[in-house]
Amino acid sequence: MAKKRGLITTRKNIDENEVLENINKEKNIMKYLKNLEIKKKIYIPNKLINIIV
């Protein structure tokens, strides 16, 4: 079962790479991604990014 691990606010119309850079700056989100392989990323512009490890 998936859980929401964090919420970030960014400006509109930025690309996936910029969103991932912002995620890398968030300590509370990175603690869940540390030392894990990202298997899949689902990015819906201006809505959400889902990272599956």
Tell me the domain boundaries of the chain. 16-52
Question: Model's pTM, two decimal places?
Answer: 0.73
Residues paired with 48 in a beta bridge: 44
E-strand stretches of 1-53: 40-44, 48-52
The whole-angstrom distance between residue 19's C-alpha and the CA centroid of its chain comes to 7
What does the pLDDT look like over 5-39, one tens digit per residue? 888 888 999 999 999 999 888 888 888 888 889 89
Answer left, alpha or beta for residue 35, where phi above 0 means left and psi between -120 and 50 means alpha: left
- Give the integer Cα–Cα distance in Å for 13 and 29: 22
